[in-house]
Chain A
Amino acid sequence: MSKDMSFAAVMARKNEILMGSLGIDFSKFETGKLAFDYEGVMASTGYPYEEVRRIQLSQGVGQTPMLELPNITALARKCAKPGFGARIFIKDEAANPSGSFKDRRAATAVYAAKKLGFKGVAAATSGNYGAAVASQAAKLGLQSIIVQECFDSRKMGQPEILEKTRKCEAFGAEVIQMTVGPELFYKFLSILEETGYFSASLYSPFGIAGVETLGAEIAQQIRQLCGKDPDVVMTTHAGGGNVTGTARGLLRENCNAQIVAASVNLKGLHMASDGHFNRKSFTTGHTGFGIPFASWPDRSDMPRSAARPLRYIDRYVLVNQGEVFYMTELLANLEGLERGPAGNTSLVAAFALAQEMPEDNIIVVQETEYTGAGKHIQPQLSFARQNGIDIRFGDPTEEICGENIILPEHPGLIAARDVDMGYLRKSLVRNALAQLPAGEDVTDVDIDFLVAETKSSADFVKTAIADLRNNAG
């Protein structure tokens, strides 16, 4: 008898499909009404850190260069008060096989799929991760299918995403291109069920464990180059895996650098809107993912996401689209490094934060990404202009997402704008409480869990719960 492949029927089989395609039973890690054993999930892959590192090295992933940016640092110092302007370093993750840190995320997952006997891997992503999965699958002789949100209803696609289609196909992947909408997940689940492929989710413990090597390398390389630890590590934040894995790797090396996350501000643009789809110039690393995934990580394609950013973030800042494009051009013109715009989100924030820090401090930007036709400041701004976006020099605070892109008139106008961490932490508590089964209440285990989830205190969590209940009542 053939299975019911309707939207409702496939979505109802979600957990069953995902469990079969990943080999992890998440239910055994539940410890409270809300709580689960996060470290248990992270260990469930069966690949300890040293093994992850060995797999990555055998696949050509990692050990990327750490580069100092003396000219961008000098420019930041020209904008800062005397004695301020930390040294800015960048981890050149574009040197990975498919051109981004996402190779780290894909390597263990694809390796595990091969070991478990899967014939192929599948992932739903319009970003660099698709290329990473396809690249790793190519190396291990596995098939790969990448499902991309690619076009609006006019079949117009952003050049950056179309370049990603090309790159995945270059690695031999089958790319399924779709119009805008979260129901892409329905097609993805159908594909998993049809093919029996491994689900190489961005949010699986395989993926996040793979990013830990990035954090560890940062600590090791800065110690070697500078004889001390970095003061701040700046990570671009979207779904939370980058910041989570990097922070875990730093902690593994006993490095207590401040963890600052940065996203591009896309306020006012709805991620599932057909009309807004091509009015934004960034397809990831933006607030459309960054804020919802920080305040509720379990909205991903995993029953429990291994990416849990609020456990690690000390500070979260936003930058504007125009500032990121501007900084991309500075990186090329002042440092001779032509890299993709999206990866430079955290460099913008680092340029601003460096000015708050003394000259002997060290700030590390933890990624770059590849660039090329489509995925480059020139075609992305050209596309924006064709779509009616006003592009001009001015004060970045005048940027209105979907209407204009403001390139800073002067580098001194670049700023990193803080997101209220207390608000995000309280949102996470509220979203967690909404998961409580009817008639149940939080236990001590759940309070401890929420403290860890929000990197806060029992007082903060208890006060937040009381506030939320008073307001609800």
Chain B
Amino acid sequence: MIKKGTWVSVRSTILKAGERAANIPADTAAVPLDMWVKGYLEADCAMGGQATVRTATGRLEAGILEEVEPSTTVDYGNFVPEVLKIGRDARKILFGGGCCE
């Protein structure tokens, strides 16, 4: 059970697959339009349960409790060897051989 007052993320469906706007690609029309909002839990709730949160601006939003204290996951990714080569090659062209040896 996640306690009232915990910072969480909830998911809700804004438009079901059959309710999507006309003139959108078939792959998009075949899936729902979903939304995630973060906020403080208004009442104790189990993961996956129907929750209401109070958002950063004080609004109330309802949805399925999906994440507790959601983290930012962005980083610098995996090593991409090509990135290293770009600068080394350009320095050779500009400053001559040997600069990167």
Contact = CB atoms under 8 A, between A and B. Distances in A.
A379 B75 contact: yes
Interface string B18-62: 011100110110111111111000000000000000011111000
A176 B37 contact: yes
Contacts of B31: 153, 179, 274
B55 A174 contact: yes
A139 interface: no
B59 A273 contact: no
Interface stretch (A59-67, A302-310, A369-377): A369-377
A335 B23 CA distance: 46
Given A143-B57, A183-B33, A407 B77 contact: no
A123 interface: no
B94 A71 contact: yes
A181 interface: yes
Contacts of B94: 71, 74-75, 78, 334
Contact of B24 (A163, A173, A182, A194): A182
Interface in B58-101: 58-59, 72-80, 82-83, 85-87, 89-91, 93-94
B14 A187 contact: yes
Contact of A391 (B14, B33, B82): B82
Given A153-B31, A374-B74, A381-B77, A145 B57 contact: yes
B15 interface: yes
B57 A195 contact: yes
Interface residues on A, range: 35 or more
Interface in A356-380: 373-380
B86 A379 contact: no
Contacts of B57: 120, 143-145, 174, 195
Given A7-B15, A374-B74, A182 B87 contact: no
B27 A274 contact: yes
Contacts of B73: 162
A380 B19 CA distance: 33
Contact of A78 (B30, B59, B93): B93
Given A74-B94, A145-B57, A381-B77, A329 B34 contact: no
Given A7-B15, A175-B38, A183 B20 contact: yes
24 contacts: A7-B21, A143-B58, A144-B57, A162-B73, A163-B74, A166-B72, A169-B38, A169-B56, A174-B57, A176-B36, A179-B32, A183-B14, A272-B28, A329-B83, A333-B86, A333-B87, A334-B87, A375-B74, A378-B83, A379-B77, A381-B80, A382-B76, A382-B77, A382-B79
Given A330-B87, A383-B77, A411-B90, 16 more contacts: A7-B19, A7-B21, A151-B34, A174-B55, A181-B15, A181-B21, A187-B35, A272-B28, A333-B87, A373-B76, A374-B74, A378-B76, A378-B77, A381-B82, A386-B78, A410-B89
Interface of A: 7, 71, 74-75, 78, 120, 143-145, 150-151, 153, 159, 162-163, 165-166, 169, 172-184, 186-187, 194-195, 270, 272-276, 326, 329-330, 332-334, 373-383, 385-386, 391-393, 407, 410-411
